[in-house]
Amino acid sequence: MTVAGLADSPWSIQPQGDRTLLLVHECQGQASVDTGKKCAALAHALRHAAIPGITDIVPAFSTVALHYQPTLFGASTSIKSLSAQVHKVLSARLEGPDAPVTSRTVDIPVCYGGQHGPDLEHVAAHCQLSSAEVIQLHSDGAAYVFMLGFAPGAPYIGMHDQRLDIARRNTPRLALPAGSVAMANRQTIIYPNASPGGWHVIGATPLSLFDASREPAAVLQPGDRVCFVPISPSEFHCLKQAQA
Amino acid sequence: MTITVVKPGLLSTFQDLGRFGHQHLGVPVGGAMDGRAHRLANLLAGNPEHEATLEITLVGPTLQFHSAGCIAISGAQLNPALNGQPVPNNRPLTVRPSDILSFGVRQSGLRAYLAWHGGYVLPPVLGSRSTALRSGMGGFYGRALRKGDSIQAGAALHSEQLDALQKQLWNLKVYLPAILGLMPRQSVRATRGPQTDLFTPQSVTGFFSSEFRISTDSERMGYRLFGPELNLENTVELLSEATSFGSVQVPPDGQPIVLMADRQTTGGYAKIAHVATVDLPLVAQAMPGEALRFTEISLSQAQQLDHQREEAFERLYQTLKPLRQWLQAASIPDPTAA
């Protein structure tokens, strides 16, 4: 169902089962930082609206999911009024410009290549670049955190330079070390824990991306900007020791 | 006030209603696979619904209690016994110090829930006592129970008052309406979703009319099903987006996976349908090797059924007020409270 009475809205409200509303942006085809930012901004506005009954607001590349619990609705609230409140937030946003969400820039140290980045040379060869050029393109400027998913604290970051375009591996690796920084389709993901993975590992970060006993638990959040900072193997070792 | 694990059972983990508020950070919700049975066990042990229970899978544990208390077991019928004597599901039961709870051969279902009046002492992680097995956090040290483990009980009852309490419980009439039980159904009810139309019409019809066999690969993250291949109209690579409990995603091999409690928070596979919350317990209690069928219902039907169950739980809660009063009267005050 598209937002009734909001024909100009780029968002549609689509139920996903009976405990989730999915807000879908009309630009849902390709990943773009522009659409990603709109998702983060909408998630922020919805969080601010503090609609009763919503337990989680999950932005992604072109969608924002609202997970709700009917038991948390007050006596006067229902699914209909939940939708109405979401409508209100969406129509308020139509009237004014998107309020910029103050985003942080987080430095992520990465030791590229060698034992930490077994796929760096393969990526370079595929992209017809040198390993140094791949590192330079990957770490130049800031990239955008679209969302976290697949594991606690695991970020989806992009979009990298056009020249860094490589599809996922045909066969995933069974055991990537925690902190592996991997690329595919002009995006980067970082595996917070040892796990199987199908992206190309070009480096590793010594940072612990998620710790439930820390506040905040996750180093990165949707909407953050990330600067990858090349470090040497010995710097990696020192930073890793410092975390223990 | 401890409980000793004499035998751990196949997979016994502490679960509550799940970890909410952190899915945007990639933290899975987790929690009881059969939330209905978990809540029932808690209510019948005089607990609030959010208290952790022990989720027991197929082969139950053997536990020894070292204090007097009240327990309740709901969900799968795994033939529980106290000191060798069979005890029923869905009743508040008194236990005495040294009593041993064991389980026999499975009769029906897959997952049972053991509630202890007063709960178990487990440090909450990100607001929940559910065990996140993949990341090793929450519950009892982030893992399933092992032989020799010692669990701290949250409260205990006065042993001398147990006889009187037992008489009161014996006279307590508990009526469980059908919607709170696990009525065997021919099929699992599910709704269409935002991506249903990405599939071929034959695949959608096929999904809602065929039999699917549950693979042995099925577990807390998801149930893998074998059946007719389900295909997209166009092979598109979709952008990742949030998942829901009961979302049915279809990877490129065309075999659907019903996402369950420990599902990853996001995914990039197309979702053909979503199991109605009211029927998630049906899936949670189904065994690998068994078959599932799906029936389409509308969203408003799904929400109505969900609402009816919630109302039934509310009524049950009210009915059990005397139980909570008796247990309160028989409880040893919390020695840790200042």
Q: Does B134 touch chain A (CB under 8 A)?
A: yes
Q: Is the pLDDT of residue A83 over 90?
A: no
Q: Is the pLDDT of residue A80 over 90?
A: no
Q: Is the pLDDT of residue A127 over 50?
A: yes
B191 Cα to chain A: minimum distance (Å): 6
- pLDDT for position B137: 96
Among B39, B50, B196, B239, most A C-beta atoms within 10 A, so best to mutate, is B239
Model confidence band, residue A102 (pLDDT cutoffs 50, 70, 90): low
Model confidence band, residue A2 (pLDDT cutoffs 50, 70, 90): very low
Mean pLDDT across the stretch A214-241?
A: 96
Query: What tokens appear for B3 in the block?
Result: 């409980």
pLDDT > 90: percent of chain A: 70
- pLDDT for position B39: 98
Nearest residue, CB atoms, A150 vs list B125, B247, B264: B264
Q: What is the tens place of the pLDDT at every residue in B7-28?
A: 999 999 999 999 999 999 999 9
Listed ranges A25-39, B174-188, B262-276; the one with the highest mean pLDDT: B262-276
Percentage helix, strand, coil for chain A under 3-state DSSP, each rounded to 5 = 30, 30, 40
Smallest CA–CA distance from B266 into chain A, residue:
A149
A17-76 residues touching B, CB cutoff 8 A: 17-20, 22, 24, 28, 30-31, 43, 55-63, 65, 67, 69-71
Q: Do B246 and A221 touch (CB under 8 A)?
A: no
- pLDDT for position B99: 98
Helix axes B299-319, B321-330, angle to 10 degrees: 50
Q: Contact, B224 vs B290, CB < 8 A? A: no
The partner residues of B125 in beta bridges, in order of sequence, read B128
- pLDDT for position A96: 53
Using an 8 Å CB-CB cutoff, list chain A residues near B128.
none
Model confidence band, residue A221 (pLDDT cutoffs 50, 70, 90): very high
- pLDDT for position B338: 41
Q: What is the tens place of the pLDDT at every residue in A52-70?
A: 899 999 999 999 999 999 8
B129 Cα to chain A: minimum distance (Å): 13
* Helix/strand/coil (H/E/C) assignment for every residue in B262-322: CCCCEECCEEEEEECHHHHHHHHCCCCCCEECEEECCHHHHHHHHHHHHHHHHHHHHHCHH
- pLDDT for position A130: 97
- pLDDT for position B335: 58
Mean pLDDT across the stretch B32-57?
A: 98
Model-wide pTM > 0.90: yes
More confident residue, B288 or A85: B288
Q: Do B242 and A151 touch (CB under 8 A)?
A: no
Burial A219-233 (b: 16+ CB within 10 A, else e): bbbbbbbbebebbee
Lowest mean pLDDT among A49-53, A58-62, A147-151, B189-193: A49-53
pLDDT > 90: percent of chain B: 93
Model confidence band, residue A77 (pLDDT cutoffs 50, 70, 90): low
Q: Does A172 touch chain B (CB under 8 A)?
A: no
Nearest 5°: the CA angle B145, B137, B100 is 20
Lowest mean pLDDT among A82-96, B22-36, B314-328: A82-96
- pLDDT for position B266: 97
Q: What is the tens place of the pLDDT at every residue in B103-161?
A: 999 999 999 999 999 999 999 999 999 999 999 999 999 999 999 999 999 999 999 99
Using an 8 Å CB-CB cutoff, list chain B residues near A20.
242, 244
Q: Do B21 and A55 touch (CB under 8 A)?
A: yes
If we measure between CA atoms, which residue out of B10, B189, B179 comes closest to residue B111? B10
Q: Does B298 touch chain A (CB under 8 A)?
A: no
Query: What tokens appear for B281 in the block?
Result: 């317990």
Q: What is the tens place of the pLDDT at every residue in B208-229?
A: 999 999 999 999 999 999 999 9
pLDDT > 70: percent of chain A: 91
- pLDDT for position A6: 65
More confident residue, A72 or B205: B205
Model confidence band, residue B183 (pLDDT cutoffs 50, 70, 90): confident
Residue keyed to tokens 């935002």: B194
Q: What is the tens place of the pLDDT at every residue in A193-204?
A: 998 899 999 999
The helix or strand, by DSSP H or E, that contains position A190, with its residue range, turns out to be strand A187-191
Q: Do A61 and B135 touch (CB under 8 A)?
A: no
Q: Does B244 touch chain A (CB under 8 A)?
A: yes
A202 Cα to chain B: minimum distance (Å): 22
Q: What is the tens place of the pLDDT at every residue in B267-293?
A: 999 999 999 999 999 999 999 999 999
Smallest CA–CA distance from A187 into chain B, residue:
B239
More confident residue, A227 or A6: A227
Model confidence band, residue A85 (pLDDT cutoffs 50, 70, 90): confident
- pLDDT for position A88: 87
A92 Cα to chain B: minimum distance (Å): 23
Nearest residue, CB atoms, B194 vs list A14, A58, A149: A14
The helix or strand, by DSSP H or E, that contains position B190, with its residue range, turns out to be strand B188-191
The ipTM, to two decimals, is 0.95
Q: What is the tens place of the pLDDT at every residue in A9-34?
A: 889 999 999 999 999 998 867 889 99
Using an 8 Å CB-CB cutoff, list chain A residues near B26.
148-154, 210, 218
Using an 8 Å CB-CB cutoff, list chain A residues near B194.
14-16, 22, 24
Residue keyed to tokens 């039907």: B301
pLDDT > 70: percent of chain B: 99
- pLDDT for position A171: 85
- pLDDT for position A1: 46
B83 Cα to chain A: minimum distance (Å): 39
A132-171 residues touching B, CB cutoff 8 A: 147-154, 156
Using an 8 Å CB-CB cutoff, list chain B residues near A17.
191, 193, 244-247, 274-277, 302
Average pLDDT value for chain B: 95
Contacts of B216 (CB under 8 A, 6+ apart): B288, B289
